[in-house]
Amino acid sequence: MTVSLADLPKGHEFAATRLKLTPQWVAEYVGAVEDDAIGAMAGHPYPPLALATCSVRALLEQAALPEGAIHVGQELNFSLSSETESELVARAHIASRGERQGWVLMGIDLRVETNGGTAMMSGRATITFPTNSQASA
């Protein structure tokens, strides 16, 4: 059973997840999002938001969103190169967590890097959700 983000403390490190973004997967992603601009990105093997999508998916496979969760914001930075890696690594940790007036505000740092540790994407997702006592009220 997947743990809820509500049960995790500041500083929690999620297990690193290996990502294999094959050319076929990238083509299917580009087709699914129907964005012609992505296809025009010559020289970059991975669409930037595909990396973000995979990192969030890897996080949610390890911890479920609590009931009443709201996505407050997202910051992303990309350092893409034309190098193709057979595998990438997604990492995440809870960078901040505060409670006020029955609500939790949580910042989760996300990172996708090459096997050699070179960052391709970094960012932070911010969510809020009611504390357990507020969710049952």
* Residue at 94 is within a domain: yes
Give me the number of domains the chain comprises: 1
* Residue at 3 is within a domain: no
Burial string for 45-65 (b: 16+ CB within 10 Å, else e) reads ebbbebbbebbbebbeeebee
Domain that includes residue 26, residue range = 10-135
* Residue at 72 is within a domain: yes
Supply the CATH number for residue 26's domain: 3.10.129.10
What does the pLDDT look like over 79-125, one tens digit per residue?
876 666 668 999 999 999 999 999 999 999 999 998 888 888 999 99
pTM over 0.75: yes
At residue 84, the pLDDT reads: 65
* Residue at 120 is within a domain: yes
* Residue at 34 is within a domain: yes
Per-residue three-class SS string for the chain: CCEEHHHCCCCCECCCEEECCCHHHHHHHHHHHCCHHHHCCCCCCCCHHHHHHHHHHHHHCCEECCCCCEEEEEEEEECCCCCCCCCEEEEEEEEEEEEECCEEEEEEEEEEEECCCCEEEEEEEEEEEECHHHHCC
* Residue at 107 is within a domain: yes
Q: Which two tokens mark 18?
A: 């290996």
Report whether pLDDT(137) > 70.
no
CA distance 112 to 121: 5
What does the pLDDT look like over 27-55, one tens digit per residue?
888 888 887 777 656 666 678 888 888 89
Residue appearing with tokens 């973004």: 21
Strands 70-78 and 119-130 turn out to be: antiparallel
Report whether pLDDT(75) > 60.
yes
Q: Is 137 or 9 the better-scoring residue by pLDDT?
A: 9
* Residue at 116 is within a domain: yes
